[in-house]
Amino acid sequence: MGIGWESGIVSGLMEGGVALPQADDCGLALLSDRVDRYIDGIMGILGAHAKNSAMGAVHLMTPDYALPSYAGMRLDDGRFQKFLQRWSEYNKANGNINYWLTSSMESIGIKPDMIPPDVQF
C-alpha cells in the first residue's frame, strides 16, 4: 500500500505501508503496480483520480478516519474564537461549506458526481 501522509503509518493505520514524499509519487506507484492501494484524504485522492481514472475505483475507509482541525489565534477574551466556531457551525448546517468545497473542487476537474455520497464536508 502507498500512503500520501506519513502520520497514517505512524498512527498504526496501516502496517507494512510505504510513505512516499508526494501524492503524485503515490499515484505513479499505484499505476506501476508497486503498491496495491493509495490512501489519501478525500480531496487528494479525488484530485488524483480526476487526473487519471486508470487508478481504479475510489473506496472510502470504514470506520471513518479523520484528524481534528485547529486554528491558532491570539489569546483574548474569546469573542473571536466563539464567533468563528458559530460561523463554521452555521455554514456547515445550512450547506455553505459543502457548496464552497464542491464548487472549488470543480475548478480542478472534480465533478460533484465523482464525490462518493458518503463523503461529508
pLDDT in tens, 17-37: 677 777 778 788 888 888 787
Residue 119 lies in a domain: no
d(CA 42, CA 25): 17
Digit-coded pLDDT (tens) for 68-117:
677 777 888 888 888 988 999 999 999 999 899 999 888 888 888 888 88
Residue 12 lies in a domain: yes
Domain around 67: 2-114
Task: Give the SS3 label for residue 19.
Answer: strand
Residue 41 lies in a domain: yes
Residue 121 lies in a domain: no
How many domains, in total, are found in the chain? 1
Single pTM value for the model:
0.64
Q: Give one DSSP letter per residue of 67-114, joined into a string.
A: ---------SSSHHHHHHHHHHHHHHHTTHHHHHHHHHHHTTT--GGG
Kindly give, in sequence order, each residue whose CB lies less than 8 Å from that of residue 104, ignoring residues fewer than 6 positions away: none
Q: Hey, which residues does 2 pair with through a beta bridge?
A: 18, 38
Residue 120 lies in a domain: no
The radius of gyration of the chain from alpha carbons, rounded to an integer in Å, stands at: 17
